[in-house]
Chain A
Amino acid sequence: MSSVLYDAQGPRAKRRNVLFTVVFLVALAALLWWVYRALDEKGQLEWAQWEMFFTGTEAWSTYIWPGLKNTLTAAALSVLIALPLGAVLGISRLSDHAWIRVPAALVVEFFRAIPVLVLMIFGLALFAQYTDVSTDDRPLYAVITGLVLYNASVLAEIVRAGILALPKGQSEAAMAIGLRKGQVMRVILLPQAVTAMLPAIVSQLVVIVKDTALGGAILTFPELLSAASTMSAYYGANTIASFTVVAVIFIAINFALTSFASWLERRLRRAKKSTGAVLTADDNQPNAGATAGGGTF
């Protein structure tokens, strides 16, 4: 096998590679051994710390499933609200009228520059002071508020990038046959842009699922991560075991989403139904120098 950086290997390079492999393996084994010893010394590897996840359903039905359900609920609601909002903002940024374009740009850049956690903390206080949302519901509302404000602006950039990625001839041809501006956007540009941006939107879902954990750690929103904390308190400090299980669940969900996004991307690239480029997760910043909020994770 060869790549940009190295050629098909000769006997000397092969020998050297074997040496590197052995050295790396020893270092890795030493690290794992150290981790194992540390865990073993503190009794974290005993079966008693882990058995509740494998025998019986109490740990799952009392802690993990409700937590997971809350995580997914918050993520799903945020997407449902943020998508249309993001589409409107993204299209507004492309408007011909400065009085629509400039405020939309300000809103998008502002909310992309501020940490989601700050938005969530603000949301929590906002609902406490100015609305009569009950104390139990407030964390969920706050988490969704933070996620929507941030992700709507990120999705707005995705929408804008998707529309800009279409060849100019598309809208020119549409206008030549007499469609109005609104029609060009609705009938010609958006349907094609939606296909182009699907992979980027699915990748953004990973960010949303991950960010719900903020609500668990700081806003007392009972999602998956906070389930780990209460669980390890209940079962007697099986911190390592609880966190491992929760981390594995997060990895499984997000890895599935990531794989789905890249599968979708390959498929759309191959199908060539649209003339525009397919957006990947990394394309979320169109001309990132000019739009400086940056950072999609």
Chain B
Amino acid sequence: MFDFLEGYDLLGAFWTTVQLTVLSTVGSLIWGTLLAAMRVGPVPLMRGFGTAYVNIVRNIPLTVIILFTSLGLSQTLGVNLGADEVDSINFRLAVLGLILYTSAFVCEALRSGINTVPVGQAEAARAIGLSFAQVLGLVVLPQAFRSSVVPLANVLIALTKNTTVAAAIGVAEAALLMKEMIENEAALLLIAAIFAFGFVCLTLPTGLILGWVGKKVAVKR
């Protein structure tokens, strides 16, 4: 029943999906945190930039962004992110697109976490003479991170599912392999079940574990 799987690198495709997810998660956590810091900071220009970035990027389909990194950035402007072969160029472009898109949602998740920190805490921190960077880095952000684990987990799950969009620029991940297999093989329902199972395996445990972690670490008020 599973004979036809021999010719396909099923694990390799899901491994690419995982790689896309992990790299984009790291990148978008960094860029998203910076954006959140800008959006809550005292400098109006940075606040404006952060707000504009989030509002613009959130409203563009990820597919448009990823296709643009390939057709616009790479093929038109020659930005290849230091890679030589087509495969690694597309992979890096997909990661870049996913980071640019996901960080807008990371920023919003963090900002909602920052809003849960009571004003008195920051006032107390300022009263003992901490600067803005210290208030943010030592008092507010650690608590904000702990209370935004669950929204961040939702962003991570959405990101895992969004990596399938990389198929649009030919990155050899799960959705692309699924398309190829469906075109070549007759066992439609079986193939669909395999890929559905793969994604359920990736997303359900993430949600359950991080949901549990989120409940555990959230600051009880």
- A206 CA / B57 CA spacing, docked (Å): 12
Interface residue? B22 (CB, 8 A): no
- A5-B41, A6-B42, A117-B175 given; A246·B64 CB < 8 A: yes
Q: Is the CB of B60 within 8 A of A292?
A: no
Q: B205 contacts which chain A residues (CB < 8 A)?
A: 292
- A129 CA / B187 CA spacing, docked (Å): 11
Q: Is the CB of B45 within 8 A of A21?
A: yes
Q: Is the CB of B154 within 8 A of A294?
A: yes
Query: Of the candidates A39, A229, A232, A294, which one forms a contact with B77 in the assembled complex, judged by CB atoms under 8 Å apart?
Result: A39
Interface residue? B31 (CB, 8 A): no
Least Cβ distance of B75 to chain A in Å?
7
Query: Of the candidates B62, B68, B204, B214, which one forms a contact with A243 in the assembled complex, judged by CB atoms under 8 Å apart?
Result: B68
Q: Is the CB of B195 within 8 A of A288?
A: no
- A86 CA / B197 CA spacing, docked (Å): 23
- A221 CA / B59 CA spacing, docked (Å): 20
Interface residue? B208 (CB, 8 A): yes
Q: A28 contacts which chain B residues (CB < 8 A)?
A: 49
- A216 CA / B68 CA spacing, docked (Å): 13
Q: A295 contacts which chain B residues (CB < 8 A)?
A: 154-159, 161, 203
Q: Is the CB of A117 within 8 A of B42?
A: no
- A9-B42, A114-B199, A121-B182 given; A213·B61 CB < 8 A: yes
- A154 CA / B106 CA spacing, docked (Å): 20
Q: A269 contacts which chain B residues (CB < 8 A)?
A: none
- A4-B140, A117-B165, A292-B207 given; A24·B45 CB < 8 A: yes
Q: Is the CB of A251 within 8 A of B56?
A: yes
Interface residue? A30 (CB, 8 A): no
Least Cβ distance of A10 to chain B in Å?
12
Q: Is the CB of B196 within 8 A of A114?
A: yes
Interface residue? B132 (CB, 8 A): yes
Stretch at the interface among B2-10, B80-88, B112-120: B112-120
Q: Is the CB of B200 within 8 A of A113?
A: yes
Q: Is the CB of B204 within 8 A of A113?
A: yes
Q: Is the CB of A114 within 8 A of B200?
A: yes
- A38 CA / B112 CA spacing, docked (Å): 37
Q: B63 contacts which chain A residues (CB < 8 A)?
A: 210, 213-214, 216-217, 225
- A42 CA / B79 CA spacing, docked (Å): 12
- A4-B114, A121-B179, A296-B158 given; A243·B41 CB < 8 A: no
Q: Is the CB of A126 within 8 A of B208?
A: no
- A117-B167, A292-B211 given; A239·B72 CB < 8 A: yes
Q: Is the CB of A118 within 8 A of B72?
A: no
Least Cβ distance of A126 to chain B in Å?
7
Interface residue? A11 (CB, 8 A): no
- A17-B42, A292-B203 given; A118·B175 CB < 8 A: yes
Least Cβ distance of B166 to chain A in Å?
10
Interface residues of A (CB under 8 A from B): 3-7, 9, 13, 17, 20-21, 24-25, 28, 38-39, 42, 44, 109-110, 113-118, 121-122, 125-126, 129, 206, 209-214, 216-218, 225, 228-229, 232, 237, 239-240, 243, 246-247, 250-251, 254-255, 258, 282, 285, 288-297
